Homo-oligomer: A and B are copies of this chain.
Amino acid sequence: MTAVDRRQQILDVAIQLFSQKGFRGTTTKEIALAAGVNEAIIFRHFATKRELYSAIIDQKACSMHMESVDAEIEKAVAQGNDRKVFETIAFHILSRHEEDETFMRLMFYSALEGHELSDLFFRNHVSERFGKLATQIKQRIAEGVFRKVDPLIAVRMFFGTVMHHAIMNRFFNQSLGAQKLIISNRIAAERFTDLFLAGITNNEMTAHKRK
- Decide if A195 is an interface residue (CB 8 Å cutoff): yes
Instruction: Bits for A111-124, please: 1 = Cβ < 8 Å to B, else 0.
Output: 11100001101110
Q: In whole angstroms, how far apart are the Cα atoms of A171 and B197 in the complex?
A: 28
Instruction: Bits for A162-180, please: 1 = Cβ < 8 Å to B, else 0.
Output: 1111001001101111110
Give A203 Cβ to nearest chain B Cβ, in Å. 6
Tell me which residues across on chain B come within 8 A of A159, comparing CB atoms: 164
Which of A113, A130, A165, A195 has the most C-beta atoms of chain B within 10 angstroms of its own C-beta?
A195
Q: In whole angstroms, how far apart are the Cα atoms of A162 and B157 in the complex?
A: 8
Partner of A112 from B108, B175, B178 at Cβ < 8 Å? B108
Tell me which residues across on chain B come within 8 A of A197, comparing CB atoms: 199
Q: Is the CB of B172 within 8 A of A161?
A: no
- Decide if A191 is an interface residue (CB 8 Å cutoff): yes
Q: In whole angstroms, how far apart are the Cα atoms of A177 and B162 in the complex?
A: 21
Partner of A168 from B105, B156, B172 at Cβ < 8 Å? B156
Q: In whole angstroms, how far apart are the Cα atoms of A196 and B150 in the complex?
A: 14
- Decide if A13 is an interface residue (CB 8 Å cutoff): no
Which of A161, A165, A196, A203 has the most C-beta atoms of chain B within 10 angstroms of its own C-beta?
A161
Interface size class of A (residues with CB under 8 A): 35 or more
Instruction: Bits for A186-211, please: 1 = Cβ < 8 Å to B, else 0.
Output: 00100110111111100100010000
Partner of A175 from B127, B168, B200 at Cβ < 8 Å? B127
- Decide if A36 is an interface residue (CB 8 Å cutoff): no
Not counting A118-B172, A122-B172, a sample of 11 additional A-B residue pairs whose C-beta atoms are within 8 angstroms of each other reads A108-B111, A119-B174, A123-B176, A127-B178, A130-B176, A134-B179, A152-B179, A153-B192, A157-B196, A159-B164, A160-B163
A-B contact pairs, 9 of them (CB 8 A): A118-B171, A123-B177, A130-B179, A150-B191, A153-B195, A154-B195, A160-B161, A160-B164, A207-B207
